[in-house]
Every structure is written in structure tokens, then in C-alpha cells.
């Protein structure tokens, strides 16, 4: 089946990514994606260009070069209450939300408390996708995480960047494998995300796809293969 979407990409707005929105959409078109999502880091991330960036998404065409465009945000989880850096006046026309733990926005706790935090975040209607839950710097109880994603109808991400050799997220491969086996058990769908910080990475899910193939993960539990499927979640 063909991988037709990528909803986890960044632009120069994020302050530590290097391509424009136009360059990213062109790259998505060249790769044959049907759906491209832009999810720049939200207000709590050091170095973002302006707190008002997210407020004018109504000006951005939702189709370019034959690719449908969604404008989202990657929120930072801020505390153990599950608060994220969403502010209603600054996020108009937001099409979807990703949320994740990022240094230095969240003070890491133990697996029990990190898991409780994720479960609170999943109850926020602004959040559709949990970003890189494979990051071993934030230990998680995957059994509870996967069961909660199913219960609250959220997507867990299989992050292609986490799987880079020498990547900064700890034990990403082992954690992703644990998560995927539980997703199979609970029939919880996943989404593949590139976490692109340069246009050449847009739509690149090569390592994630290889991992899925390695364990014969059921295709029907991957939303990237079906445009209709993703809109059940966002
Ligand atoms: Zn980033
Ligand atoms: Zn992230």
C-alpha cells in the first residue's frame, strides 16, 4: 500500500528547521504525497519566530501543487497536569494538533507519572496525535499508553527521525517495537511521521516502514495508507 501523507514536518518558523512551507509542499508533491501537514513547534519552544504565526493560517491555501495542505502545530506538554502551550487567541484555523515531550519544556518524571501525563493530554480535544512516544528519555508504560490511545481515539506516532542511527531519542527502536506489539494487541492505529526539519525529509518514512515490515505489522493499523482514515482522527 502507498504511503500518502506526512503530518509531522517543520519549517524555518520553528527556529531550528531550514525549509519554507512552499519548499516542503513542493517536496511533498515530488514524493507523491496526497496530504501534507505542517506542524511547527508551538509557543513554548525556544527560538520560534513569532507568537502570532499560528493566528493567520486562514491565508494559506489548503491545496498547492496538487497536494492537500493541513496547518497544525506541535504542542509542548508543559507539566504533569497535561497542560499544553495552546492559547485560543493565537491558534485560529488550526487543522490539527500534535503533542509531545520536549526538552526544556517538560521536566521528565518517572514512567508512571509520564504515562499519567500523556493520558491527560489525550483527553484534550486540540490534540490528535502523540509525537514520538518512543523517546526513552521520557520513560512510559506502553501498555497503558496504547490502551489510552485506543480509548481516547488518538493516534500514536511512529517517528522516522527517532529511528535515525545516532538519533538523540534514547532506545527509540526498542520502545517503538514495544509500542507496536501493544498496538497490534489493542488494535490501536499508528501514524508514520517524518519529523522533517529540512525539505528532503518530507514524506520520508523509510526507517519506520522497514520496522513495520520487520514485524509484519498489520497495514490496516497504519493511517498513512488511506486518506479517509486520517480524517477519522483529525
Ligand atoms: Zn524540532
Ligand atoms: Zn517533537
CA of 102 to the centre of ligand 2 (A): 6
Nearest ligand to residue 10 Cα: 1
**Band of residue 180 on the pLDDT scale cut at 50, 70, 90:** very high
Q: What's the confidence (pLDDT) of residue 217?
A: 98
pLDDT digits (tens, 9 = 90+) for 15-25: 999 999 999 99
Backbone angles phi, psi at 4, to 5 degrees: -115, 5
Q: Interior CA angle at 117 toward 230 and 122, to 5°?
A: 25
Nearest ligand to residue 193 Cα: 2
Q: How far is CA 218 from CA 8, 63, 87, 190, in A?
A: 22, 31, 37, 10
CA of 65 to the centre of ligand 1 (A): 25
pTM score: 0.97
Domains of the chain: 5-230 (3.20.20.140)
- Rounded CA separation 180/186 (Å): 10
Beta carbons of 63 and 70 less than 8 angstroms apart: no
- 1 pLDDT higher than 90: no
Backbone angles phi, psi at 59, to 5 degrees: -85, -10
Instruction: Collect all residues with Cβ–Cβ distance below 8 Å to 107 and sequence separation of at least 6.
Output: 79
For the packed helices 142-152 and 111-122, what is the interaxial angle rounded to 10 degrees?
A: 10
Q: What's the confidence (pLDDT) of residue 73?
A: 98
What is the average pLDDT across 82-92? Answer: 93
Count the neighbouring beta carbons within 10 Å of the beta carbon of residue 60.
Answer: 15
Identify which of 95, 36, 92 has the alpha carbon closest to the alpha carbon of residue 64: 36
Rounded percentage of the chain residues whose pLDDT exceeds 70: 100
The DSSP letter of residue 93 is: T
Instruction: Collect all residues with Cβ–Cβ distance below 8 Å to 147 and sequence separation of at least 6.
Output: 182, 186, 188
pLDDT digits (tens, 9 = 90+) for 184-205: 999 999 999 999 999 999 999 9
pLDDT digits (tens, 9 = 90+) for 132-175: 999 999 999 999 999 999 999 999 999 999 999 988 899 999 99
Residue 48: all three cell numbers together: 520560534
CA of 195 to the centre of ligand 1 (A): 7
- Rounded CA separation 28/34 (Å): 8
- 118 pLDDT higher than 90: yes
CA of 100 to the centre of ligand 2 (A): 6
Neighbours of ion ligand 2 (CB under 5 A): 100, 131
Query: Residue 125, SS3?
Result: coil
Amino acid at each position: 500500500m502507498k504511503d500518502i501523507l506526512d503530518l509531522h514536518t517543520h519549517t524555518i518558523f520553528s527556529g531550528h528547521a531550514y525549509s519554507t512551507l512552499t519548499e516542503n509542499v513542493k517536496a511533498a508533491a515530488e514524493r507523491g504525497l496526497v496530504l501534507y501537514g505542517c506542524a511547527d513547534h508551538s509557543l513554548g519552544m525556544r527560538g520560534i519566530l513569532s507568537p502570532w504565526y499560528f493566528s493567520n493560517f486562514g491565508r494559506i491555501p489548503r491545496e498547492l501543487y496538487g497536494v492537500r495542505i493541513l496547518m497544525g502545530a506541535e504542542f509542548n506538554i508543559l507539566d504533569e497536569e497535561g497542560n499544553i502551550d495552546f492559547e485560543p487567541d493565537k491558534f485560529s484555523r488550526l487543522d490539527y494538533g500534535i503533542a509531545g515531550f520536549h526538552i526544556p519544556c517538560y521536566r521528565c518524571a518517572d514512567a508512571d507519572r509520564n504515562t499519567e501525563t500523556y493520558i491527560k493530554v489525550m483527553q484534550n480535544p486540540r490534540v490528535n496525535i502523540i509525537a514520538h512516544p518512543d523517546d526513552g528519555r521520557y520513560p512510559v508504560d506502553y501498555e497503558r499508553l496504547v490502551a489510552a490511545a485506543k480509548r481516547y481515539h488518538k493516534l500514536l506516532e511512529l517517528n522516522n527521525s527517532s529511528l535515525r542511527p545516532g538519533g538523540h531519542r534514547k532506545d527509540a527502536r526498542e520502545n517503538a517495537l514495544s509500542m507496536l506489539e501493544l498496538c497490534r494487541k489493542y488494535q490501536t492505529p499508528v501514524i508514520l511521521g517524518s519529523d522533517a526539519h529540512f525539505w528532503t525529509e518530507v514524506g520520508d518514512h523509510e526507517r519506520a516502514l522497514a520496522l513495520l515490515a520487520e514485524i509484519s505489522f498489520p497495514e490496516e493499523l497504519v493511517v498513512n495508507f488511506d486518506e479517509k482514515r486520517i480524517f477519522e482522527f483529525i
